[in-house]
Amino acid sequence: MQGRPDAETVYYNDPAIPAKAFREAGAEWIHVVDLDGAFKGEQANAPAVETILAEGMKVELGGGIRSLEVIERWLGLGVQRVVIGTKAVTDPNFLHDCLSSFPAESIAVGIDALGGKVAVKGWLEQVDLPAVEFARTVQDIGIQTIVYTDISRDGMLTGLNSEAQEEMLLGLAIKVVASGGVASLDDVRRFQAMEGRYPNLDGVIAGKAIYDGNLDVAEAIRVAGA
């Protein structure tokens, strides 16, 4: 819940099990976060990620990715898109290096916000930087996609913060993948309705609602594609 290390729930010891279930339900993408990596600043769950990749789906991976060497390794192993978080905030020049070294579509920036301000290092530290302002900087650098997470809603099953997500969508021309608080199919419907107003809304991430049985993946995909 809310990215707190002391508030974790383990649903599967083998991450390939839910990955296979998502594939069988018709999902094309899996969003994966190495939480230990985000806290430590280095890859900590590489074997687990590799078991997910073995399911043959498109994987978007974030958490502790802070060097070109790590990005190259994951893209070489089949990750479709890596998500840069902390490093993008602490060293914006790193994004220029990423875009010079890899296809733009393979690089996304994760913007995690609490009270409208950016948080880093697995959400343990908050930066005095408005999320929308940082997103515009990222856009100007040339990044094509951001993953925007409302930390206060993440893992809480309280519903999406549509106001914050719309503020981000309105302020950008690039693609936005929304995350944080999806609790049921109603939230997917709300995002699906928002797509008509914001063509840069590229998707929505659901996690805990699926694992707790509140959201059926196949049904969510059907609604999102309607």
Two tokens, residue 200: 């840069």
Q: Is 32 left (phi over 0), alpha (psi -120 to 50) or beta?
A: beta
Specify the residue for token string 């408005």: 130
Residue recorded with tokens 């206060």: 152
Confidence of residue 156 (pLDDT cuts 50, 70, 90): very low
pTM exceeding the 0.75 threshold for the entire prediction: yes
Mean pLDDT calculated for residue range 80-106: 95
Nearest of 112, 99, 103, 97 to residue 79 by alpha carbon: 103
The larger pLDDT score, comparing residue 151 to residue 167, is at 167
For the segment 132-136, the average pLDDT, to the nearest whole number, is 95
Indicate the pLDDT class of residue 2, thresholds 50, 70 and 90: low
The domains of the chain, with CATH numbers, are 16-224 (3.20.20.70)
| Structure token digits, residue 97 | 């290096």
Closest CA relative to residue 203, chosen from 167, 170, 179, 222: 179
